[in-house]
Structure 1
Amino acid sequence: MRIADFTAGKNLQRLIYLAVCGLIFAYLCVLVIAVLIGDWLFDANGQPIATDFLAFWGAGKFVLQGHAADAYNLEMHKSISSAESGAVFNGYYSWQYPPTFLLVTAALALVSYPAALVSWMAFGITFYAFAIRLIGETRLAVLAAMAWPPVLWNTAVGQNGFVTAALLGAAIASIEKRPALAGLFFGLLTYKPQFGLIIPVALIAGGYWRVIGWATISATAMAVLSIAVFGTQIWSDFFDTAAKINGMILVDGRADFSKLQSLYGFVRALGGSLTTAWVAQGFLIAALGAGIIWIWLQKGAFHVKAAALATATILGSPYAFIYDFVALAVPLVFLGKTGFSAKESAVVIAAGILVGCGPSQYAPTAFFSALLVLSLVIGRALQVYAVPIRPAVSRAGMASAN
């Protein structure tokens, strides 16, 4: 390597470092300004501002009061949570997480709603940073993941995107060397069952039976623990409420189809029928599944397999919102372990800009961002796994040519 090339590489890394630090600083400024002008945490009168996190905190309150099943009574959940927190929630309100997740919400409800929101974000960001460090193994990887635009979106609404991304990333990163840990994380990820469509396909194709076994044990243990704490009826309440909420969101569009960052949501937002949307999403899932099987049957280049699985996991779900796309940083960090070419870097920047624009009534920007990341994965997979086609030339033919 020439000295000039080495210097150029150091300059580029320094530029990237400054860029990601600048974005993180900008996010912090946005949050601080939002607090000062009464747009986040507290309004101008000092009253707490309702965010999506109110449902998490309210569910925890029901657990602490010994009425965990009431968390699945949406009208009661909304009214009591608003009354006890002082944050009035206007608009669509839902709680469709399994009883296993209620064990977590109880800890959140031990403090006031604003304090719990800040604590939840602090925990999520820390866990997210841990997972990214596990994948990328560098400080720059962590900083770049913190600069990923959905980080700001997730923080603003107090959602669980950090935890989802951390569980997915840490699970995939642990598959080869720590199967028990990978299984534990996959089991915990069942709190968002909509992201479990592609993961079993990859694990079976790769022959990671120990991971599957540990994931099964992990998920089962949590379910048993929830039954021991809350009883069996609460699971019936959960399934009934989940079915109603899925109907409201996926059929009736109560949360606005344009906010759904999936192919299903895009088709419905364009005016497509329920059947058309499900057929489109079904074809996408089938294509992703086939691609994952092919990639995970190959030898070597685990970072490509990992990036493919993380991307397919996100794209495969018909139920995904902007905050879920914090997890899109996971495949980018896996791919970034071997660096990005100039063209790939342009695609990464474009993906970041798209998802940073947020939900739009014209297009699912996060879904398109994920498609760009998928294009990077496909390009890498073809480079690493595709067998070059060479003309077969016999020795006799070579001899006669000579």
Structure 2
Amino acid sequence: MNGGQRPAWREISARYRRYQPVILGLLAAATLGRAYRFSVAAEADGPARLVDFDMFHMVARLIWAGRLEDAYRFDSLWPLLKARGGLDFMTWAYPPPFDIVVAPLGLLPAGAAYLVFVGGTLALYLFALKRLAGENFALVAIAIFPAFAIGISGGQNGFLTGALIALACLGFEKRRWQAGVPLGLMIIKPHLAAGLAVRTLLARRFGAVVAAACTVVAACLAATLCFGVGIWAAFLEATKETGVFLKEGFFPLHRMVSIYATLRSFGLGVVPAFAAQGAVALVALAAIVRVTFGAFTLRQSLGVTAVASLLITPYAYDYDLSLLGVGLALLLPDLLSKAGKTALGALFSLSFITCGYWLVEAVPQLLATEADFADAGTLPALAGLTLLALFALIWWLTERSRAAEAAHQAAAANPAAGAEA
């Protein structure tokens, strides 16, 4: 049965592969256009409303001015944001190694800095995604296309983190200890690497574990040398402050993809929302344990882990869905060969909706003035539900694929057993 279905999914992949140049062209045009926006905004003394990359560039400038700790203190950061036209609620709670990443951006004009950071990380992500997805690259890109749009629009670091996870998965596929290096570099956003870190330990890939640990230590030492020991106290204080802001609901919940955000957006209290998030995280970790020790292929194990990682943390945003692309790149051949039309339709629909839910509020957010900005972003965070449903579907299809393969192997072994008898 598997042999008869395989040409069908290859035909689907071939049909959509012709759109690959169009996809890459659109992404390149959007990136160049956005870079132009930052150049024009800089000449006009700042943008009308800040996005994430404005924050990165501003912090980079603070680094070269010797004022990095101001970024970690909200009482000193907020006036700087307001002075630049910021209406969104933003904080800076990135681990100090990420400050090393953004520091060079402060030496460049805003437009050039955007092109280097977003253009460079997008290119790296596309390279790694293409290596993982192969002939299914166009299908994966279409499934998560809104995630590309939000990454380019806001200039966040989702392409960087997605690339690091993808490179780690490529290393694990080749069974190289160097896979631990990109995994260790995820110290810039460790909550998104928790799932893959757990799987690495469970799989006893100790060479990769040592490489990851050494990379983390080296990154932290470099940050300490660059910014001083005191930067860690500022970071820890900012982390506590951000936790309080998260509990109080100050962040745009509709942009988040966690079940915690979903329940909080419906008015549920902090404690039950965190309890529900904890339950979902345990389910995700149980799935990671299952694919690590069960009779799954390596690509199935890594793919499920990449998607499950998004369910562990309450602090996951739409731009972090680059990890979903990594998971789909690894899993799509199995999913296409085993799923029917209805399941495939649900898979791509849920993926597109989850990655594109931010579009529902994008226009009102852009049109909102300072007077009515507080009323913007009131939609429930439904992406948390759609992501959970998507993971359940991916899990069901992956289990189905594993069971079908086990049955195929058993059937192939039976004639040999009969002959021996």
Shorter-chain TM range is 0.7 to 0.9
SS in 1 for 2:316: coil
What is the one-letter code of the residue matched to 1:66? G
CA contact (8 A) 1:41 1:48 kept: no
Q: Please, which of 325, 330, 355 is the counterpart of residue 326 of structure 2?
A: 330
Pairwise mapping of residues 32-51 of structure 1 onto structure 2 (< 5 A)?
Answer: 42=40, 46-49=44-47, 50-51=50-51
SS in 2 for 1:255: coil
Task: Provide the residue aligned with 1:73 in structure 2.
Answer: 73
Task: Provide the residue aligned with 1:371 in structure 2.
Answer: 389
Query: How many Å apart are 1:302 and its aligned residue?
Result: 0.7
Query: How many Å apart are 1:63 and its aligned residue?
Result: 1.9
Query: How many Å apart are 1:363 and its aligned residue?
Result: 4.0
CA contact (8 A) 2:303 2:327 kept: yes
Q: Please, which of 192, 195, 203 is the counterpart of residue 195 of structure 1?
A: 192
CA contact (8 A) 2:199 2:288 kept: yes
Distance 1:219 1:353, change over 3 A: same
Write the distance in 2 (CA, Å) between the matches of 1:6 and 1:159. 38
Task: Provide the residue aligned with 1:394 in structure 2.
Answer: none
Question: Given the alignment of the two structures, is residue 230 of structure 1 paired with residue 227 of structure 2, yes or no?
Answer: yes
What is the one-letter code of the residue matched to 1:70? D
Pairwise mapping of residues 259-270 of structure 1 onto structure 2 (< 5 A)?
Answer: 259-270=255-266
Q: How many residues align?
A: 379
Query: How many Å apart are 1:323 and its aligned residue?
Result: 0.8
What is the one-letter code of the residue matched to 1:297? F
Task: Provide the residue aligned with 2:274 in structure 1.
Answer: 278
Question: Given the alignment of the two structures, is residue 212 of structure 1 paired with residue 221 of structure 2, yes or no?
Answer: no
Distance 1:232 1:367, change over 3 A: farther
TM-score by length of 2: 0.80
Write the distance in 2 (CA, Å) between the matches of 1:107 and 1:29. 24
Query: How many Å apart are 1:238 and its aligned residue?
Result: 0.3
What is the one-letter code of the residue matched to 1:244? E
Percent same amino acid at aligned positions? 21
SS in 2 for 1:149: helix
What is the one-letter code of the residue matched to 1:353? F
Q: Please, which of 303, 312, 316 is the counterpart of residue 316 of structure 1?
A: 312
Question: Given the alignment of the two structures, is residue 162 of structure 1 paired with residue 162 of structure 2, yes or no?
Answer: no
Distance 1:205 1:59, change over 3 A: same
SS in 2 for 1:346: helix
Question: Given the alignment of the two structures, is residue 345 of structure 1 paired with residue 344 of structure 2, yes or no?
Answer: yes
CA contact (8 A) 1:198 1:313 kept: yes
Query: How many Å apart are 1:331 and its aligned residue?
Result: 0.7
What is the one-letter code of the residue matched to 1:256? P
Q: Please, which of 293, 306, 313 is the counterpart of residue 302 of structure 2?
A: 306
CA contact (8 A) 2:177 2:208 kept: yes
Query: How many Å apart are 1:264 and its aligned residue?
Result: 0.5
TM-score by length of 1: 0.83
Write the distance in 1 (CA, Å) between the matches of 2:95 and 2:8. 51
Gaps of 5+ in 1: 389-402
Distance 1:285 1:43, change over 3 A: same
Task: Provide the residue aligned with 2:411 in structure 1.
Answer: none
Task: Provide the residue aligned with 1:393 in structure 2.
Answer: none
Q: Please, which of 246, 251, 256 is the counterpart of residue 255 of structure 1?
A: 251
Query: How many Å apart are 1:208 and its aligned residue?
Result: 1.5
Distance 1:10 1:378, change over 3 A: closer
Q: Which moved more, 1:158-167 or 1:290-299?
A: 290-299
What is the one-letter code of the residue matched to 2:318? I
Query: How many Å apart are 1:68 and its aligned residue?
Result: 2.7
Write the distance in 1 (CA, Å) between the matches of 2:9 and 2:269. 51
Question: Given the alignment of the two structures, is residue 15 of structure 1 paired with residue 15 of structure 2, yes or no?
Answer: yes
Task: Provide the residue aligned with 1:383 in structure 2.
Answer: 401
Write the distance in 2 (CA, Å) between the matches of 1:337 and 1:383. 10
Query: How many Å apart are 1:34 and its aligned residue?
Result: 7.7
CA contact (8 A) 2:23 2:138 kept: no
Write the distance in 2 (CA, Å) between the matches of 1:93 and 1:269. 18
Write the distance in 2 (CA, Å) between the matches of 1:164 and 1:26. 22
Gaps of 5+ in 2: 361-378, 408-421
Write the distance in 2 (CA, Å) between the matches of 1:6 and 1:240. 54
Query: How many Å apart are 1:194 and its aligned residue?
Result: 1.9
Question: Given the alignment of the two structures, is residue 121 of structure 1 paired with residue 115 of structure 2, yes or no?
Answer: no
Identify the structure with bigger relative contact order (alpha carbons < 8 Å, sequence gap 6+).
Answer: 2
